[in-house]
Amino acid sequence: MKEPGYFKTIYLSVKSLLTGMRMTGYYFTHPKETHTEQYPDNRATLKMMDRFRGEVIMPHDETNEHRCTGCQSCEIACPNGSIKIITKQEVNAEGKKKKAIDTWVYHLDMCTMCNLCIVACPTDAIKMGQKFEHSVFDKSLLKKILNEPGSKVKSGVE
């Protein structure tokens, strides 16, 4: 005895298969409506969103000055210990001693891009960069020093 609705089941299966295939066929014949990005061939035109968090950077202006006072708020705010700030005492023009940064060490390998250090910085000395291709062969290359050699703090930034 045949199973009840045997042919009906076959009919329905084929019908639902065709419904699905009609849809995939539509996109097959309308390549303009697909959303694939040709990475990495589109590197030249690929622009990340302006808020995208790729790495911590410290912008320097033309005269090689940054805005970091060495207050270490970011170091305290970082949940992963990715920031280490080594400070030094500097004597300024009036002969007063002042705290300044010696080395701003950033461990990209330990950073989770949580943005907490950026929010914590009182002088907006650091921000998030949009670079995202960070793969390297040697882990030690991920330890970065963000203040450029010979740079100093912008005057007036407290």
> Among the candidate windows 55-63, 82-90, 100-108, 114-122, which touches other proteins by CB under 8 A?
114-122
Neighbouring-strand partners of residue 103 = 86
Q: How far is CA 103 from CA 84, 106, 118, in A?
A: 8, 10, 18
Residue 75, exposed/middle/buried by CB under 10 A (0-12, 13-18, 19+)? Answer: middle
Q: How far is CA 32 from CA 36, 41, 116, in A?
A: 10, 18, 40
Q: Give the separation between CA 157 and CA 59, rounded to whole angstroms.
A: 14
| Interacting partner of 51 out of other proteins, ligand SF4, none (Cβ under 5 to 8 A depending on kind) | other proteins
Q: Would you count residue 147 as binding ligand SF4 (CB under 6 A)?
A: no
Q: Which is nearer to ligand SF4, 39 or 77 (CB)?
A: 77
Q: Would you count residue 46 as binding other proteins (CB under 8 A)?
A: no
Q: Where in 117-146 is the site for other proteins (CB under 8 A)? A: 119, 128
Are residues 37 and 48 in contact, defined by beta-carbon separation less than 8 angstroms? no
In three-state secondary structure terms, 8 is helix
Name which position in 84, 113, 129, 144 contacts ligand SF4 (CB under 6 A). 113
> Among the candidate windows 29-37, 40-48, 118-126, 135-143, which touches ligand SF4 by CB under 6 A?
118-126
Q: Which residues bind other proteins (CB under 8 A)?
A: 9, 12-13, 15-17, 19-20, 22-24, 35, 48-49, 51-53, 77, 79, 112-116, 119, 128
